[in-house]
A and B are shown apart, each in its own frame.
Chain A
């Protein structure tokens, strides 16, 4: 599975959009981009995933560049409860390999 690169940490003001970038330049054609988050002391929670097209659900939007070498997770209106570690994972198989993730701190 392709490796991903994410910033170590980011801050976001409450109520503003949080845009979390992820680089996956070695992604191959059959690999999906998955986003999970982990709030302190809990198991990871699925957020969204996509292959080529942009995706949106009740939690977030996923924007994947045309060349698929990078993506951005967008939390449209961040709240304090969105403070967590966000993991971008690329996988074409059954396993998910987690990187270091981005610590997102939402501040009031």
Chain B
């Protein structure tokens, strides 16, 4: 397995502001992914964070709203911009350890509430 540190673990924010979520992994990984889990819902993939290039976004998600950085093989950030109450969700970072046994390993997430 891996150790994924996600910060902050939770936050309460005002609408119109932005929050940057950090994801730190204790080993170098090629693939990092960001998911969103709205209240009572399943996980939705936001984007793939690519090291050294722009993130690849899924349908319905855009860079202006969810800018992502991936400066190296152990770290990534997701920013939720110009927040509204609809952005209240759990945001999860996950990594592909490149092992046959476990496809993706997940952090414990960031609980975001927007007032």
* Residues on A facing B (Cβ under 8 Å): 32, 34, 42-46, 49, 85, 87, 91, 94-101
Question: In the complex, A99→B45 CA distance in Å?
Answer: 11
Is B63 an interface residue, CB under 8 A from the partner?
no
**CB proximity to A under 8 Å, residues B29-69:** 31, 33, 35, 42-45, 48
- Known A-B contacts A95-B48, A100-B42, A101-B42; the reply to A45 vs B106 at CB < 8 A is yes
A75: shortest Cβ distance to chain B, in Å? 18
User: Which of these, B31, B42, B106, B108, contacts A94 with CB under 8 Å?
Assistant: B31
A-B contact pairs, 7 of them (CB 8 A): A43-B108, A46-B103, A49-B103, A94-B31, A98-B44, A99-B42, A100-B42
A103: shortest Cβ distance to chain B, in Å? 11
The B interface, classified by DSSP as helix, strand, loop or mixed, is: strand
Q: How many A-B residue pairs lie within 8 Å, measured between CB atoms?
A: 43
**CB proximity to A under 8 Å, residues B95-115:** 96, 101-109
User: Which of these, A34, A43, A91, A97, contacts B107 with CB under 8 Å?
Assistant: A43
Are A94 and B43 interface neighbours, CB within 8 A? no
A-B pairs, top 7 by smallest CB distance, nearest first, are A43-B106, A98-B43, A46-B102, A98-B42, A44-B106, A43-B108, A100-B42
Question: In the complex, A101→B43 CA distance in Å?
Answer: 10
* Residues on B facing A (Cβ under 8 Å): 31, 33, 35, 42-45, 48, 92, 94, 96, 101-109
Question: Within 8 Å CB of A101, what residues of B?
Answer: 42
User: Which of these, B43, B45, B48, B104, contacts A46 with CB under 8 Å?
Assistant: B104
Question: Within 8 Å CB of B31, what residues of A?
Answer: 94
Closest residue on chain A to residue B108 by CB atoms:
A43
B70: shortest Cβ distance to chain A, in Å? 14
Closest residue on chain B to residue A46 by CB atoms:
B102
Question: In the complex, A106→B45 CA distance in Å?
Answer: 29
Question: In the complex, A97→B42 CA distance in Å?
Answer: 10
Question: In the complex, A72→B46 CA distance in Å?
Answer: 29
